[in-house]
Amino acid sequence: MSRVFACFFTWCLVSSTSLFAQPAAATGIDARLSAVEAAAKTAQISGDNAWMLTSAALVLMMTGPGLALFYGGLVRRKNVLGTMMHSFALMAVVTVLWAIYGYSLAFAEGNPFIGGFSYFLLNGVGSTPNADYGATIPHQTYMIYQLMFAVITPALISGAFAERMKFSAMLLFTCLWSTIVYFPMAHMVWGKGGFLNAFLGGKVPCFDFAGGTVVHITSGVSALVCALYLGKRVGFPREAMKPHNLVLSAVGACLLWVGWFGFNAGSAVSASGLASSAFVATHFGASAAALGWMFAEWARHGKPSMLGGISGAVAGLVAITPASGFVKPFPALLIGFLAGIFCFYMVTTVKSKFGYDDSLDAFGVHGAGGSLGAILTGVFATNAVNDGLKDAAGKVLPLGLVDGHPGQVLNQAIAVVISFVLAIVGTLVILKIVDALIGVRITTEQEVAGLDVSMHGEEGYSLEA
């Protein structure tokens, strides 16, 4: 009897052990699964965040030292610091605007034309991702990345008013320009609910991967308005105003080229295949454009120049910017090559025909190259590269003309026209205001002495030191 009891007891023990062991094991797998999921998500956030922070730093490098050196070398030696100071000062000024209200006006939800104030003083912009802009990076990373675009855009304009604008006027102009032109334009194209935003509910879906309209057309067209409003430099074009140091310019242009990988490939907002595709398109566009400009120059003037090569590379980078996350490598080569030739024609033939003094060709390169790139994006954009655009049922939609959607070219043209109008009207109004308040142009004596001494009280190259 005791034996039977012992057997029963043993059976109970065994079965109860197995009974209890079953749910315990199931809990273990669930826990481990969710731990693996969490680890995978953390790993993706780490990877994407690492690339996006790197990209943000690369884009800042485009302004300083990239653009500062590129423009600094192109002016006469008496203006080298004043010109570099434009780029450098904007790194500081635009950052402050961005922190206070700039990011909010560009990226907070508002109306189709400008954002609201929900991110005022960066309220609510922390480490939690914003799923609309980047589900796998901290919202703060997205904010700082976009800031670098807001910094370089007004710095590009400084090429048009180089060597003759008052420093105080430049600062005031930039604050107003960022507020009236850049923040609304960035909201329209990239902000949630923006009028031209193809992916987040825009009325007219425009493809602008990294800022062909937002950055290059707005800055290039505003540059032309500035050049016309300020008038020519004293002595232009009678006096020789050749670049004082093309070595600086070459170094600056190559830094721009490298930084542009952050600008374009970073616009994928992830360390993904799309980022690789944009990286490749960017490099191909720059290379083909450098050749396009050099060959055009060789044919016209008999010699291919360093300045021509670097100007072409920048023109190609500009033109490929809107297209970079939408086109395959070979269309990227074509877009670049066309941009090199087109921008060469703009800065040589067209500029001399109309006689405006766009000193460093901000319009000829950024306005013209940006417009060409925006239109060609409508032609070559394909869902084989970017499948982000889907209908309600989740079906991937055709993008550009090559996908059988010719209407996109018209959408792109509308975006170009809106950029032109906003830039022209906005810049003209701002210049009138600044001119009335403090005056935009330095005196002839100051201009002859150069910006370095007259505006900043120092010299770039001191013979006595």
Partner 1 sequence: MKKIEAIIQPHKLDDVKEALKAIGIDGLTISEVRGHGRQKGHKEVYRGMEYQIDLLPKIKVETVVTDARLDEVTRALSAAARTGKIGDGKIFIYDVLEAVRIRNDDTGEAAL
Closer CB to partner 1, 167 or 345, in the complex: 345
Integer Cα distance of 366 and 389 in angstroms: 28
| 238 sits near partner 1 (criterion: CB under 8 A) | no
Type of residue at 274: L
Integer Cα distance of 428 and 223 in angstroms: 11
Tell me which stretch binds partner 1 (CB under 8 A): 39-47, 299-307, 411-419, 455-463: 299-307
Tokens in use for 265? Answer: 């490939």
Integer Cα distance of 422 and 197 in angstroms: 17
Helix or strand or coil: residue 396? strand
Closest distance to partner 1 from the beta carbon of 180 (Å): 31
Helix or strand or coil: residue 311? helix
Closest distance to partner 1 from the beta carbon of 264 (Å): 25
Contact between 267 and 277 under an 8 Å Cβ cutoff? The reply is no
CA 306 to each of CA 243, 310, 340: distance values in angstroms, whole numbers, following the listed order = 12, 6, 14
Closest distance to partner 1 from the beta carbon of 175 (Å): 31
Tell me which stretch binds partner 1 (CB under 8 A): 162-170, 348-356, 393-401, 413-421: 348-356
Q: State the virtual CA torsion across 338, 339, 341, 346 in degrees, nearest 10.
A: 140
Give the interface size with partner 1 as a residue count (CB under 8 A).
20
Closest distance to partner 1 from the beta carbon of 192 (Å): 41
Tell me which stretch binds partner 1 (CB under 8 A): 224-232, 261-269, 301-309, 407-415: 301-309
Q: Which ranges of 191-272 would DSSP assign to H, the alpha helix?
A: 218-230, 246-264
**Within 10 A of 54 (CB to CB), how many other CB atoms are there?**
16
| 240 sits near partner 1 (criterion: CB under 8 A) | yes
| 361 sits near partner 1 (criterion: CB under 8 A) | yes
* Of the candidate residues 32, 41, 203, 242, the single one contacting partner 1 (CB under 8 A): 242
Tokens in use for 147? Answer: 């800031």
Cα 173 from chain centroid (whole Å) = 20
* Of the candidate residues 22, 118, 276, 352, the single one contacting partner 1 (CB under 8 A): 352
Closer CB to partner 1, 54 or 348, in the complex: 348
| 237 sits near partner 1 (criterion: CB under 8 A) | yes
| 301 sits near partner 1 (criterion: CB under 8 A) | yes
| 354 sits near partner 1 (criterion: CB under 8 A) | no
| 308 sits near partner 1 (criterion: CB under 8 A) | yes
User: Which residues of this protein are in contact with partner 1, per CB under 8 A?
Assistant: 237, 240-243, 297, 300-301, 303, 305, 307-308, 311, 344, 347-349, 351-352, 361
